[in-house]
Chain A
Amino acid sequence: MAARSIRTRGERVGRLAVLAFTGLVLVFLVAPVFVVVPLSFTDSEILVFPLPGWSLRWYEDFFTNPLWTGALYNSFAIGLSVTVLATVLGTTAALGLHASRFRLKPVALGLLMAPLAVPVVIVAVAMFYFFARIGLLGTFPGMVLAHTVLALPFVVVTVLATLQGFDPTVVRAAASLGASPLFGFRTVTLPIIAPGVVSGALFAFVTSFDELVVTIFIASPRQRTLPRQIFSGVSENLSPTVTAAAVVLIVVCMSLMIAVELLRRRSARLQGKAQ
C-alpha cells in the first residue's frame, strides 16, 4: 500500500499500459473460441457476423448426418478403448517406477515420455509405415494402439505426481495388519491414488478424442474420427456444420479438462492440509 504513493507518474502510466496489454492478450487468447460458438447457431449458409438469425439447424445436421454421427461414434469408441488401455498400462508403470530405484529407471521413464517430445507428424508417418507392414493400417485396433502411445505419458505423469505425496508406510501398516498385497492395494493404495488415476484416464480420453495427425495417416474412412471429419471440412468446404462439430469437440474436451483441474486442486489442497 505504501509503495503505491511513491510511484512516479511515469511508472503509473507504464503499469496501466501493461495491464491494458494483458487484457488485450487475454481477449486474443479466448476470442477465437468464443467466435466459433455463436457462429454454430447461425441460420445462414455462410459464416458471417452479425448473424442473420439464430437456429439449431446445423446441430440438427450434425446429429442426423451419418458422416458426422459416424465420426462421433468412432471418436467415442476409440477414445474409450484408449482410456482403458492407457490407464491400466500407465498406472501399473507409474506404480513400478515409483517403487523401484534401479539404474535403467531414467531410460524406462524417458521411453514412456518420448512420444511427447517427438513431433506428432513423425510419429504419424512412422506408424503409417509400421502398421502398413504388419497389417494394422486402417484398422480399429491400430487406431487404439497408436492413440494409446500418445496418451500413455499423460497417465504416467499424473499418477506419478499423485504417488509423490503417497506415504508408503500405510501399505506396510496394512500388511502388518494382515492384508495381502492385492487386498492392501485395493483397499489402501488405490483409494489414495484414485484422483491421479481418474485424471490420467480423463487426459487419455481427451488425447485420443482430440487427436488428428496420426488419424490422418493411419485411419481408413471407416475409422474417421470427429477431428478428422472437421479437418476435411476445413480443407474442403467450411460449412456451419463444421462449427457445430467444433463446438461439440470443445464442450467434450473442455468439460473433461475442467474435471482434471478440479481434481488437481482438490488433491493439492488435501496434501497442503496433511502437511
Chain B
Amino acid sequence: MTSLALDPPTGPHPLERAVRRSERRRRLVALLLMAPSVLFAVAVFAVPIGLFLFRAIENDGIPQRLPRTTAAVQAWDGGDLPSAAAFDALADEILALKGTPELAQLGRRLNYVVPGYRSLMMGTARRLDAAQVATLDAEATRARLIEADERWADPAFWMPLKQQSGPLTTFYLETALDFERTPSGELVSVPAERAIFIDLFVRTFQTGLATTVLCLLIGFPVAAVMARASGSLANLMLALVLIPFWTSLLVRTTAWVILLQNEGLVNKTLLFLGLVDQPLQLVFNRFGVYVAMVHVLLPYMILPLYSVMKGVSADHLRAASSLGAKPFMAFRTVYLPLVMPGVAAGSALVFVLAIGFYVTPALVGGASDQMIGYFIAYFTNTSVNWGLASALGAILLGLIALIYLVLGWAIGLDRLKVR
C-alpha cells in the first residue's frame, strides 16, 4: 500500500510498461502461431460439418422452385382443396420448369414426402401445354390440371406444398425419428410396418451396448493381470495388446472375414474336432459383427483400464483383507471404486466408437446388422436423399455430444485418452 503512494503520479513505472509490452507481444505471437491451424480446422472441418448438419433442416427446393404456389396454398385451411389461384400458380410454375433438370429434382424432393409425387410432376408437365394453359382462366386451369392427373384432386398431394413452404423444415428430422404429418398437419408415428428408423437406432444402441459390455467383461480381468505382472511379462502383454491396436481396422476386419468364412480356419477346426457336422454361418451376420467389433475395440478398453489399474497399489487390497474383508468385499469396496475412472473412460470410448462404426459392419455384417453410419452413407450415395442422411447424422452426433458432455462433467474429458 505504501509503495503505491511512493509511485510517481505520472503513470506506471517504465519497467512495468516494458513487462506489459513484452507480455502483449508474447500473446500476439501465440495467437499468430495458433491462427493457421485454427483457421484450417474451421475451413476444412467445422464449416463442412456445419453445412452438412444444416441440410437436415434446410427446405431445399420447394419454396425456391414453387414460390407462387406455396404462397397461394397458405390461405388454404387443409380441408377440401386449395383455391383456383393455387392451381393456376402451380400450372404456370410446372410449365416454367418443364424440360429442366429442376423439375425432376423437385419431383424427387416431394417424392420423399408423398410417394408417387415424382411421376405426378413429370406426367403433369408432359400433359400440359403452355400455349393452351395461357388461354385458360384460374377455374379452367384447375379443371385442366385435374384432367391431366386426377391426383391433383387429392388434398394429400397439396399438403406438402402448404406444410413445407418455409426456408426451414423439420420434415427430415421427423422422418428420421419415424414420424409423419397427417393431412391436417398433426405429428403422428408412422405405422409399425413402415417404421424403420426407430429400429435402426435401437439396433445401433444394442450393438454398441453389447460390444461395450463384452469388451468390459473381457478387458477387465486382462487389464488387471497386466497391471499386476512383473516388468518384462507386462511389456510382452502390452505389446500383444498394441499389435492389433496398431494394425489397420480394415486389415483386422478382412482377417475376420477370412477366418470366419465357411471354408475358414475356425469352421475347419470345428469340423476337424467333430464339434459340428457342417460349417456354421459365422460371418455376414450379427455374430461376425460382434466378433470383429469386440476385436477392434478391445484395446480401447484394456489400455485405459490398464493405466488406471497400474496406479492402484496392492497394499490397498492387503489393508482391506487385514481388516477382515473377504476377497469379494475388498474388490467391491476398495478396488472397484479406485479403478472406476478407467472403467468409465474405457466404456465411454468403446461405446462412442461403436455406435459410429461403418466399415466393419459393412464388411462382416448382413443387411440386417447395419447401423446408423451405414444408412448415412446409403442415403448419401445410393438413394440420394441428403436431407435424411443429414438428419440421421445430426441425431447420431447429438447423442455423441451428449455422452461427451456427461463424461466431461462426471470424469473430465482428459481421461479419455488411450495411451
Contacts and interface: CB of A to CB of B under 8 A. Distances in A.
Contacts of B51: 126, 129-130, 133
Given A36-B255, A49-B268, A119-B400, A227 B36 contact: no
B250 A227 contact: yes
Interface stretch (B142-150, B152-160, B194-202, B256-264): B256-264
A262 B30 CA distance: 30
A36 B244 CA distance: 12
B243 A29 contact: yes
A33 B254 contact: no
B412 to A, nearest CB: 12
Of the listed residues B247, B265, B298, B393, the one surrounded by the most CB atoms of chain A closer than 10 A to its CB is: B247
A213 B247 contact: no
Interface of B: 26-27, 29-38, 40-42, 44-49, 51-52, 55, 218-219, 221-222, 224-226, 237, 240-244, 246-259, 263, 265, 268, 295, 298-299, 318, 327, 352, 355-359, 362-363, 373, 376-377, 380-381, 386, 389, 393, 396-397, 400, 404, 417, 419
B30 A99 contact: yes
A272 to B, nearest CB: 15
A95 B32 CA distance: 10
Given A100-B30, A246-B251, A111 B42 contact: yes
Contacts of A227: 248, 250
Given A95-B33, A152-B37, A246-B251, 10 more contacts: A3-B318, A21-B221, A26-B237, A111-B38, A118-B397, A119-B357, A122-B49, A129-B386, A149-B44, A235-B362
A115 interface: yes
A95 to B, nearest CB: 5
Contact of A217 (B241, B380, B419): B380
A99 B26 contact: yes
Interface in A122-154: 122-131, 133, 145-146, 148-149, 152
Given A35-B259, A118-B397, A89 B40 contact: yes
A188 interface: no
Given A117-B352, A121-B358, A242-B254, A89 B380 contact: no
Contact of B254 (A11, A22, A126, A246): A246
Interface string A239-273: 00011001001100110011001001000000000
B244 A30 contact: yes
A31 B256 CA distance: 10
B41 A149 contact: yes
Contacts of A90: 37
> Which of B29, B36, B37, B240 gathers most chain A CB within 10 Å?
B37
Given A30-B243, A99-B30, A108-B38, A11 B327 contact: yes
Interface in A177-211: 181, 210
Q: Which of B40, B263, B373, B386 has the most CB of A within 10 A?
A: B40
Contact of A125 (B29, B42, B254, B376): B376
Given A22-B221, A242-B254, A119 B243 contact: no
Contacts of A19: 225
Nearest to B256: A32
A230 B258 contact: no
Given A29-B244, A121-B373, A130 B31 contact: no
A152 B252 CA distance: 25
Interface in A7-25: 11, 18-19, 21-22, 25
B225 A250 contact: no
